[in-house]
Structure 1
Amino acid sequence: MYSSWRLLNLSPNNQNSTSHYNAGTWGIVQGQLRPLLAPRVYTLPMVRSIGKTMVQGKNYGPQITVKRISTRGRKCKPIFVQIARQVVKLNASDLRLPSRAWKVKLVGEGADDAGGVFDDTITEMFVWPVTMVCLEMPCLLHGTRIFPLILCSFRFLFNPSACLDEHLMQFKFLGILMGVAIRTKKPLDLHLAPMVWKQLCCIPLILEDLEEVDLLYVQTLNSILHIEDSGITEENFHEMIPLDSFVGQSADGKMVPIIPGGNSIPLTFSNRKEYVERAIEYRLHEMDRQVAAVREGMSWIVPVPLLSLLTAKQLEQMVCGMPEISVEVLKKVVRYREVDEQHQLVQWFWHTLEEFSNEERVLFMRFVSGRSRLPANTADISQRFQIMKVDRPYDSLPTSQTCFFQLRLPPYSSQLIMAERLRYAINNCRSIDMDNYMLSRNVDNAEGSDTDY
């Protein structure tokens, strides 16, 4: 099947009827059969399509400009917005590169983008709560607690109220970022609810998906549907139900019509079943426009029809990699320079990293690579992690070169001091090239006004 997927109609819009001839394809489109597919069935077509559409002979795509330092008393726009407005104007074919889809010029900062700046700016876009508070809108992403998956763990839904052209453009850019993550195998730290991943790979949503993100709302609808069990009759229905028309709560908490003209359609005891059905149908499709915009952006970079071979979990792993930073994985891809594996400095380093919490290892990853996650497949790590011993004073702070995934360690008098210095570095040094040796090349030459940033 992995070599004949082109014969399958994977579009969810063209499967109006099923028969014994297309039942298998229908099972894939609807999602039931996708977990049964062998990995090569859904990976090889994607890998081959990406390879055939790869830009050849270039190390990076078009240059875009980012300003993170405020000047003239004006606060800069979020880098998500700055980059989005530039990238969506580019040609899609120019962004299909193996590593850097675009080159970043940081105005007024001391950095030259050899890969680290590109990685670092993308990582910065998804640092919570930046995603929640820095996007201009109502927020694109709406935070919701998921029960019963992980108590107190935040996941995000697309905001159904974000439907202006500016909002949809930003959703499209989010899709471009997802596509770039798949193509370059550099995952994003993006926490979306499972139902969003299902929609992105065109698996129809069911009531259980809504329960995961809004259990209280589903329970309320069930109470309305079976309200007679509580002794409520047609006579006292409106005394117990605070709704008087076909309106319901959206994912962003607003009360909205659940069908066209719902404000003028009265909710009664006799039509409560229809109300519940329409309310559920509305909630299962309220993010359709936003999902379509994200898929449009993804189609710039990767073959979107092939997403119909993936489960929601498989797509999430392609885009987001693994949330845990594994020390064992780093050991498999490490390369030593000016030092060997048996050196005490190296032994102290690995012991220190193993003692770190996952949150600290995430900070470490950003310190040495500009990224905060590793791919789910170790073979997809295209750049080897380098540990280099440098000739500097004892017990100095470590340094890194994010463009080369390289950690530079000076000599230390003990593991305790090494751990202390490393913790200080990863928590307090998140800017690239603060010595500003590249600053003269990155000055703002009046190429853009404050309104552009």
Structure 2
Amino acid sequence: MSCSEFQRKHTWEKNRLSKLFSCAIDAILTNSLYSANEYVMVFHPLQFFLDAFKCRRPSDTPKLYINRRAAMEHRCEPGNDPDFKNSIFSQIYEGLKPRDRNSKCLDYRWSSRFDQWWECKFMSEGVIDQGGGFRDSLSDLSEELCPVTSDAALPLPFFIRSPNQVGDDSNIHRDVYILNHQCRDFTKYEWIGQLMGACLRGKENLVLSFPPLIWKMICGERVTWTRDYHTVDAAEVKLIDQLETMDKETFSGAGRIWSTTMTDGTPVELKVDGEGNPLPLDYDDRQEYCNKVRQIRMSEFDQQISAIRKGLLKTVPQAVFDLLTWQELEHRISGNPDITIEALKRSVHYDDIEEDCSTVKYMWQALEKFSTEDRSRFLRFVTGRKRLPAPIYVSSGKT
């Protein structure tokens, strides 16, 4: 590690520790913590703030009736159900609404020990939900929000594929989703934020394939065009940066106008004539043009981010965000996307079978040949979760 790198890391750690003590003092003064034992929270700050902001689990677990056949039909042909009423998302969202004046909305601030937020009755499937059905519903919900298959139709309007998924200029962050700036259903974005907060508090995952830019914005970290926006649209970053340094002769042949496009392809006119047509872009104005494009693109989904953060902050106190990096936030909400054999082995619990048994060895030999996507499918099959951490129980099968 170079001297400058060490200094940057030291400064970052010092600032983080300063935030920790500031948040701790505020919490102590606010909650009037007189017991000396409670000062031990300095050593476990994250859990302290989560516990200080928690509530009791619901007295009755909500029961949801979910028609997965109808949801699958909607996923295949979203155009037949433009209001996505048959989606898993809508069936859960509507099913959790209070049914009478005495019912209350779930606030998702319960302890991590509460590991089944609702009970699922899958219609025509005969499944008795003892936790597996609930986790299945979360996995189905994740799949609707951010489909794994790159050519599948999008069953929900909240997130769209990033330009990197179809661009040729990037070989990283190709499978990510971004927020849809045209979707104005902020109440549902807020609910998504509450689910994310519940996952942060507990042991479940809501797998959201966001680029680092989105996670940083949700976390409240500073983002920049050069360092972060390439994770969304590498081709646009390259184009704008080249345009800024382009010589006059090359620029004249480009025929640029005062217009740009949003991440979903929507055209935006930046300067227009009397008839509403975009003006030609002069060489001397290219710097102003580039700055405007950067500003528009970087603030494109600010309102949607704010709605998600509003939901998160209903579930998790701001102090928690002050203590987490964006990577930690992603892992606590969506799990670790990198499913290694070593990580899988650390998650396994053996019951009435030895680790060096030939059957177990064959299982690991097979899993070593699996791709990350195949390991995710295996994980969901045996645990209901798509990412780690997830407990895996291996038994002999003997009764």
Q: Could you say whether these structures have the same fold, taking a TM-score greater than 0.5 normalized by the shorter chain as the test?
A: yes
What SS does the corresponding residue of 2:315 show, helix, strand or coil? coil
Unaligned runs of 5+ in 1: 9-39, 376-380, 393-453
Q: Of residues 146, 163, 180 in structure 2, which corresponds to 1:144?
A: 163
User: Equivalences for 1:51-450 in 2 at 5 Å?
Assistant: 51-56=51-56, 61-70=61-70, 77-87=86-96, 91-93=105-107, 96-98=110-112, 99-127=115-143, 128-129=147-148, 133-137=153-157, 140-145=159-164, 150-151=171-172, 153-163=174-184, 165=185, 168-208=186-226, 209-230=228-249, 240-243=254-257, 245=258, 247-257=259-269, 266=279, 268-269=281-282, 270-375=284-389, 384-391=391-398
Aligned pair in 2 of structure 1 residues 193, 341: CA closer, same or farther (>3 Å)? closer
Which residue in the other structure is 2:4 paired with? none
Render the CA deviation track for 1:309-345: whole Å, top value 9, x for unaligned. 3322222222222223334344344333343335443
More helix by share: 2
Q: Contact 2:68–2:88 at 8 Å: present in 1 too?
A: yes
Distance 2:245 2:372 in 1: 46
What SS does the corresponding residue of 1:386 show, helix, strand or coil? strand
RMSD: 3.7
Distance 2:111 2:315 in 1: 9
Render the CA deviation track for 1:371-408: whole Å, top value 9, x for unaligned. 01113xxxxx5xx432222359xxxxxxxxxxxxxxxx
Q: Contact 2:215–2:330 at 8 Å: present in 1 too?
A: yes
Q: Contact 2:194–2:312 at 8 Å: present in 1 too?
A: yes
Unaligned runs of 5+ in 2: 1-16, 27-40, 75-80, 99-103
CA shift at 1:202, angstroms? Answer: 1.3
Give 1:256's aligned amino acid.
Answer: V
Which residue in the other structure is 1:30 paired with? none
User: Equivalences for 1:13-32 in 2 at 5 Å?
Assistant: none
- More deviation, 255-264/366-375: 255-264
Give 1:196's aligned amino acid.
Answer: I
State the structure with bigger RCO (CA 8 A, min sep 6), 1 or 2.
1
CA shift at 1:354, angstroms? Answer: 3.5
Distance 1:261 1:51 in 2: 58
What SS does the corresponding residue of 1:214 show, helix, strand or coil? helix
Q: Which has the larger radius of gyration?
A: 1
Q: Contact 1:333–1:385 at 8 Å: present in 2 too?
A: yes
Which residue in the other structure is 2:5 paired with? none
CA shift at 1:228, angstroms? Answer: 4.8
Q: Contact 1:258–1:282 at 8 Å: present in 2 too?
A: no
Percent sequence identity over aligned pairs: 24
Distance 2:247 2:170 in 1: 32
CA shift at 1:58, angstroms? Answer: 5.7
Q: Contact 1:60–1:101 at 8 Å: present in 2 too?
A: no
CA shift at 1:195, angstroms? Answer: 0.6
